[in-house]
Amino acid sequence: MSSTEPALGGWAPSAVHVPVLLDRVTELLAPACAADGAVLVDATLGLAGHSLALLRAHPGLRLVGLDRDPDARAEATRRLTDAGVADRATVVPAVFDELPGVLDRLGLTEVQAVLFDLGVSSLQLDRPDRGFSYAADAPLDMRMDPSAPRTAADVVNTYPTDRLARVLRVYGEERFATRIAQAITRERERAPFTHTERLAHLVRASIPAATRRTGGHPAKRTFQALRIEVNDELGVLERALPAALDALTVGGRIAVITFHSLEDRIVKQTLAAGAVDRTPPGLPVPLPEMGPTLRLLTRGGEAPSEAEVAANPRSASARVRAAERIRRAA
């Protein structure tokens, strides 16, 4: 089946899938992927775009790809097979905070590279039936793993007003969180929310007209917040990053692509903590066992170029941070 033929229940992948920050990510991870037998863990495999580029560039590289979404795994496997690199890839149904268990089952004590490409994938956004987008009416779902028990409809229809407002305020950074939550609570008494369009219209009506004229679609922040809550995205990330760093061999590298400030803050703080010398103040020389375990490879979160954003507007909010392990923790 060619890449332009419909796949996955009518979803048609684009003929050329160009991942966000592809050139920079492959450049950052290349030194760790070059040796024969090196292992790359793509913790958020998605459509396998970054991994395919690295497998093609490094013939001795092996891939362990994790994804909770069965549609993503199926499409990634198809692409890896079509590219002739499937024999060097192991695709695992897992959430990325399950990384230690996955590596243990595969008999891997260390890996050379780890990649996280966070957020919602193109496949999930472009399939209306998954309910991630406010651009088309669809069931209010938003589960990255369709077998998971909690949907966005469950959150919207069952959370008390104050809890719902907190989700919107913290995960969506929504100024009008309380106002929107109160409107949702009133409306769900009339009829439960089942589809995205009704919720998007309600959010729009709940936000002052002057605010609606700027900052994109008024429902963007609410939908982001619900998606993060449904999939426990920040909790998973807080658990997964330390585990990924622990798995890196000395000289190994990690790259993390984020799409909003909440993710980026977690990544920034985690990598920065590993790059600090913890020798107690007042000692005449640094203690080797207290020295940094990481070397930062990027200056802050690096953004895509203007040309990339023009070609792919979805990349506009992306940022990449990367680090290299320089020693094992004592």
Condensed to tens digits (0 to 9), the pLDDT of residues 44-75 reads 999 999 999 999 999 999 999 999 989 899 99
Q: What is the CATH number of the domain that holds 289?
A: 3.40.50.150
37 among annotated binding-site residues: no
Distances (CA, A) of 246 to 79, 276, 279, 294: 30, 16, 21, 11
Residues in the chain: 330
pLDDT computed for residue 129 by the predictor? 65
Last residue within a domain, chosen from 231, 262, 296: 231
Are residue 216 and residue 307 in the same domain, yes or no? no
CATH of the domain at 163: 1.10.150.170
- Give me the pLDDT at residue 50, please: 97
Tell whether 103 and 171 lie within a shared domain.
no
Same domain flag for 112 and 243: yes
- Final residue of a domain: which of 231, 262, 278? 231
Backbone angles phi, psi at 295, to 5 degrees: -115, 120
Per-residue pLDDT band for 121 (boundaries 50, 70, 90) equals low
Q: What is the pLDDT of residue 87?
A: 97
Question: Over the stretch 296-308, which tens digit does the pLDDT of each residue have?
Answer: 999 999 999 999 9
Across residues 213-220, what is the average pLDDT? 78
Residues 30 and 96 in one domain: yes
The total number of structural domains in the chain stands at 2
**Structure tokens belonging to residue 269:** 């703080």
Strand 111-117: give its sheet, edge to edge: 89-93, 62-67, 39-42, 111-117, 248-258, 319-325, 294-296
Expressed as residue numbers, the domain containing 205 is: 130-231
**Section 168-192 average pLDDT:** 96
Residue 50, marked binder: yes
Asked whether residue 20 carries a pLDDT value surpassing 80, the answer given is: yes
Average of pLDDT values for 161-175?
96
- Residue 48 is assigned to a ligand binding site: yes
Can you tell me the mean pLDDT for 160-185? 97
Q: Give the pLDDT mean for 210-219.
A: 76
The answer to whether residues 298 and 320 touch, using CB atoms and an 8 Å cutoff, is yes
pLDDT at site 280? 74
Residue 49 marked in a binding site: yes
**Domain match, 153 and 183 both:** yes
CB-hemisphere CA count at 13 Å for 326?
A: 16
Instruction: Identify whether 184 is part of a domain.
Output: yes
- Are residues 136 and 117 part of one domain? no
Tens digits of residue pLDDT in 229-276:
999 999 999 999 999 999 999 999 999 999 999 999 999 999 999 998
* 67 in a known ligand binding site: yes
